[in-house]
Amino acid sequence: MRFLGLLLALTFSPTFAQQNKYKEIELGDNQYYLCSIELSPDTKTLAIGTAQGNLLFWDIETQQVTRKLTFEGFTHGPYMSYSRDGRYLLWVEQYFTDWALNKDRPSTAAVIDVASGNMVLKKDNVNAAAFTPDGQSVVAIQGNEIIFWDIATGSSRKKFSPSNLSNSMGISNDGKLIVVAQKPTEEDLKSIPSIRNDKKAIKEALKYREVAVFYDTQNLQRAFMANDIMDIVFSMRFTADGKSLFLFNAPNTKFRPAQGSNRNAYLQVVDPSNGEVSRTMFPTNAPEPIYKESPDGHFVAVTSVEHQRTVANSLLVFDRESGQTLKRFKNDFRLLENNVMGRACFEFLPDQKTIALGYGTRLVLWTFVE
């Protein structure tokens, strides 16, 4: 019933507040669609990734591109994240379309030294990757292993193989815990109140669903598990304050068929101190959304997809506490030309009232708080 409520909210809700105040910005001579935007830790610069492996650095004060780098092997652009000290950028290859909806497609992950502009580490066959909080290592899921790669030497520091490893993982902000998506065992399901007494639900969970398990990063031993069942967890992300873990879930299409081309996915929120799963969730139709919490913790923004006469990317802004949809930005800049291109990507700006969005080859500054 909870999932049905999410679906109805996304599909049949009254019209959301649409964009009112926004400014379009040309990014120099850029000719490629934007696919990722990340704010530097010093809050002065946006790193902007585009198709064909371009990386633009955009100064927030002057609103100018100050630098451009290009890297081979990222035809459809990267997902990006900064190391905490701002020294490195982690790139994970995006795909234009992944038709295998029930299993994540491995890709390439690379570390870029921001000062030198050099790619200093590159790993293939990666399902998920993240910096350690000290910025010295990248942790990656490769095959059935989770490997801690030393950035300076390129060597493996340590690795382990959790049982029934799936697509995604994340590292807590203090570096003490690593959380991993896994296929559940019958023993796991005994500790999940929502299904432990339901034989049918247990059978379905064993076949189609997943659990989130927390491990101690020092001894790599299991610490605890989130207290609710998940669908397929394709990605996860800790909030900046470390107090919440967002998990992007999408149902196995054999278990819960999608309606048309809608993904009918959602974000779950977990308290990483004890594994308690919140009842507040955030729906999205995007196959692989970008999602972030605002710096003040009041909002959650999630990219989505709208299927009407054509397909259009959009950004949904939710109230963090209640999960209520507050505003939406529909990326319909090419509808009249019948040439909808680009990806939905965004970043909250330091002024607490503006979101920077990818708008095809351009950047948009949207005043979402009036």
pLDDT, tens digit, 9 for 90 and up, residues 117-149: 999 999 999 999 999 999 999 999 999 999 999
CATH 2.130.10.10 fits 2-367, yes or no: yes
DSSP for 122-145, written as a single string: EEEEEEEEEE-TTSSEEEEEETTE
- pLDDT score of 99: 56
Tokens of 284: 């999205």
Q: Name the β-bridge partners of 145.
A: 142
In the chain, the amino acid numbered 18 is Q
Instruction: Determine the pLDDT at residue 370.
Output: 80
Three-state SS across 4-15? HHHHHHHHHCCC
* CA 122, chain centre distance (Å): 20
| Residue 32 DSSP SS3 | coil
Label the pairing between strands 34-39 and 45-50.
antiparallel
What tens digit of pLDDT does each residue of 315-341 get?
A: 999 999 999 999 999 876 544 443 445
The CA distances from residue 191 to 50, 181, 184, 226, 256, in Å, are 44, 16, 11, 9, 24
Q: How far apart are CA 212 and CA 214, in angstroms?
A: 7
Nearest one of 266, 324, 274 to 299, comparing CA atoms: 324
Nearest to 361, CA basis, from 350, 339, 292: 339
- The DSSP letter of residue 18 is P
Q: What is the pLDDT of residue 259?
A: 66
Model pLDDT, residue 337: 40
Low-confidence ranges of the chain (pLDDT < 70): 1-20, 96-100, 258-262, 308-310, 332-342
| Spatial separation of the C-alpha atoms in residues 16 and 79, rounded to whole Å | 27
Give the ranges where 300-344 is alpha helix by DSSP (H): none
Quote the pLDDT of residue 204: 96
Helices (runs of H) and strands (runs of E) counted in the chain: 3, 28
Torsion angle in degrees (nearest 10) through CA of 140, 346, 57, 241: -60
pLDDT of residue 10: 45
Q: How many CA atoms lie within 13 A of 193 on its CB side?
A: 4
CA distance 183 to 210: 5
Decide: residue 25, CB within 10 A, 0-12 exposed, 13-18 middle, 19+ buried.
middle
Task: Return the domain boundaries, the chain.
Answer: 2-367
